[in-house]
Amino acid sequence: MITFIHTHDDIFKAVKQESSLLAIRKSDDKGNPMFDSLVFDEDRLILFRDLFFDARANVITACSAYMKEITDYDIFEQGNFDKDRDFVLQLDVPGFITSMKDSASVKMKAYLVSYIMYLWLENKSPEAELYSSRAETYLKDLKRFLEMRTSRRISKSWPA
C-alpha cells in the first residue's frame, strides 16, 4: 500500500505563494496593480476548501484503478491529520517501484496547486489556460508514475 498525504494547509500555502508570484507582475489596462484581486489569501478559505475538494476528486478519479478497498483511518490519528480537511490517499499498486513515490507525490501536489490556480483564475486572467495545461500534464505524469512496476505483467494471450 502507498499512502500520499497533502494537507489543507500545505496546499493552501502553495496556492497563495503561486498566486502571489503571478499577481506581483500583473497590472490592468490602466497600469493599476492587480495584486489584491489575484492573490488567493486567507479571506478566501471557504472558496479554497471547495476548489481543493474539486481537485482532490479529480486525483481520486485518476487513481481509481488503485484505490484501496478500505481506508486505514489509523493514519489520521498517527499523523494528526484531519480526514475532513486533509487529503490522504491510499493506493494498492502491486509491484510499484517505491522509489517513485516521491516523484508521484510531487506530481500530485503540483496538480492540486495548478488545478486550483486554474479555477481561481478562470474568469480573472488569461494565465488560467497555462495552469489548466500544467494541471493536465501533471495528472498524466502521476498516472504514468503509478504504472511503473518492478516487473511487467505478461498477458496470457501472448505466445511463450
DSSP string computed for 90-133 = EE--TTB-GGGHHHHHHHHHHHHHHHHHHHHHTTT-TTHHHHHH
Apex CA 131: angle with CA 129 and CA 137, to 5°? 105
Evaluate the CA torsion angle 94, 99, 102, 104 in order and state its sign. Answer: negative
Q: Please give the grid coordinates belonging to residue 121.
A: 483564475
Phi, psi of 139 (to 5 degrees): -70, -40
Query: What pLDDT, on a 0 to 100 scale, did the predictor assign at position 51?
Result: 97
Give residue-wise pLDDT tens across range 23-40. 888 777 777 777 788 899
Mean pLDDT of the chain: 87
- Mean pLDDT throughout 149-155? 62
Query: Rounded distance, CA 110 to CA 82, Å?
Result: 21
Q: Which residue has the cell 496546499?
A: 11
Contact 93, 146 (CB under 8 A): yes
Contact 38, 19 (CB under 8 A): yes
Q: Which residue has the cell 488545478?
A: 115
Q: Give alpha helix (H) positions in 24-100.
A: 35-38, 45-62, 74-79
Strand partners, 58: none
Query: What pLDDT, on a 0 to 100 scale, did the predictor assign at position 70?
Result: 63
pLDDT at 79 over 70: no
- Mean pLDDT throughout 14-26? 91
Residue 84 CA from chain centroid, whole number: 16
Q: pTM of the prediction?
A: 0.86
